[in-house]
Amino acid sequence: MTINITKLPRYQEAVTKFTEAVTNGAEAEQRNELYADAMSIMGEELLEVVSDASKKEAEELFNNFQKNPKLTANEIKFFNEINKEVGSKNGILIPEETYNQVFDELTTEHPLLSIINFKNAGMRLKALTVKSETGTAVWGNVFGEILGQLDATFQETAFEQNKLTAFVVIPKDALKFGATWLKQFVMEQIKEAMSVALETAIVKGNGDKQPIGLIKDLANGTVQSEKIVYNTDKTALASLATLDPTNAPKLLAPVMKALSISDKGNRLNIAGQTYLLVNPADYYDLVAKFTSMNLNGVYTTTLPFGVQLAESKAVDTGKAIAFVANRYDAYIGGGVALEEFDQTLAIQDMQLVTAKSYWYGKAKDNHTAALLTLAGG
pLDDT in tens, 280-337: 999 999 999 999 999 999 999 999 999 999 999 899 999 999 999 999 988 887 666 6
Cite the residue boundaries of each domain of the chain with CATH code 3.30.2320. 222-328+367-373
Residues 6+ apart with CB under 8 A from 44: 10, 169, 345, 347
Contacts for 142 with CB less than 8 Å, ≥ 6 apart: none
Residue 138 has pLDDT above 50, yes or no: no
Range with the lowest mean pLDDT among 6-15, 135-144, 190-199, 236-245?
135-144
Residue 20: what pLDDT? 82
Whether 150 has a pLDDT exceeding 60, the answer reads no
Q: Is the dihedral of CA 227, 231, 237, 239 positive or negative?
A: positive
Q: Cα separation of 198 and 189, whole Å?
A: 14
Largest CA distance in the chain: 76
Which residues make Cβ contacts (< 8 Å) with residue 195, sequence separation at least 6? 106, 109, 110, 113
User: What pLDDT is attached to residue 16?
Assistant: 82
pLDDT computed for residue 287 by the predictor:
96
Among 187-191, 301-305, 330-334, 356-360, the least confident range? 187-191
- Entry pTM: 0.73
Give the pLDDT mean for 92-116. 70
Determine the 3-state secondary structure of 35 from DSSP: helix
**φ and ψ at residue 351, rounded to 5 degrees:** -115, 130
Q: Which fold has domain 222-328+367-373?
A: hypothetical protein PF0899 fold (3.30.2320)
Crossing angle (nearest 10°) for helices 9-23 and 179-204:
30
List, in order, residues 6 or more apart from 126 with CB less than 8 Å away: 156, 157, 158, 159, 333
> Cα–Cα distances in Å, from 107 out to 44, 71, 233?
25, 21, 26
